[in-house]
Structure 1
Amino acid sequence: MEASSPTDLSVSDPQLQHFIEVETQKQRFQQLVHQMTELCWQEKCMDKPGPKLDSRAETCFVNCVERFIDTSQFILNRLEQTQKSKSAFSESLTD
């Protein structure tokens, strides 16, 4: 019996496929956190770093994060709707 090399592994391996999906989700989450941090912390709410947050900065962070999440959710929903409508359209063409 031949030993398979790492390049012989295919994406059809369910464990490998699951691992790749999980790692991809982690990467996406980290990118979102990085974008949110950059936008809210550096661009919107902090003029200069200090030893503690004042109430204005805290309120700004809460609002910024909530808007970021709302916007991300809106975009995901819109992409999902677009994908569904494309699928429905292509199915109607094949009928």
Structure 2
Amino acid sequence: MDSAAGSRLVQQLQAESQRQKFTEQVSTLTSRCWDICFNDSRPPAKMDGKHSGCLANCVDRMLDASQFMVDHLQNSQLAK
């Protein structure tokens, strides 16, 4: 395998890893926010504004918390 092919393979593996992490994050957010916003395990017959707003706010809070942690860890690494 030449250098260019190896480089492409590494890039493809990194892209696949990022896709997998994104999929895992979406699944985690969906599960956590569903449990928070829907006390009943049954899905509603129709999505109303209350549930829709709850899901949107929950996801926003989770993403903000995740970004805060990433920023904090990066700042900690830079301070060393």
Q: Fold conserved (TM > 0.5)? A: yes
Matches within 5 A, 1:15-94: 15-41=8-34, 43-46=35-38, 47=40, 48-86=42-80
CA distance in 1, matches of 2:54, 2:70: 24
CA distance in 2, matches of 1:13, 1:81: 32
CA distance in 2, matches of 1:55, 1:34: 22
* Equivalent residues, number: 76
> Which is greater in Rg?
1
Unmatched 5+ stretches in structure 2: none
Name which structure has the greater RCO, CA cutoff 8 Å, separation 6+: 2
Which is worse superposed, 47-56 or 31-40?
47-56
Letter in 1 for 2:59: V
With the length of structure 2 as denominator, give the TM-score of the two structures.
Answer: 0.83
User: For 1:13, what is the secondary structure of its paired residue?
Assistant: helix
Unmatched 5+ stretches in structure 1: 87-95
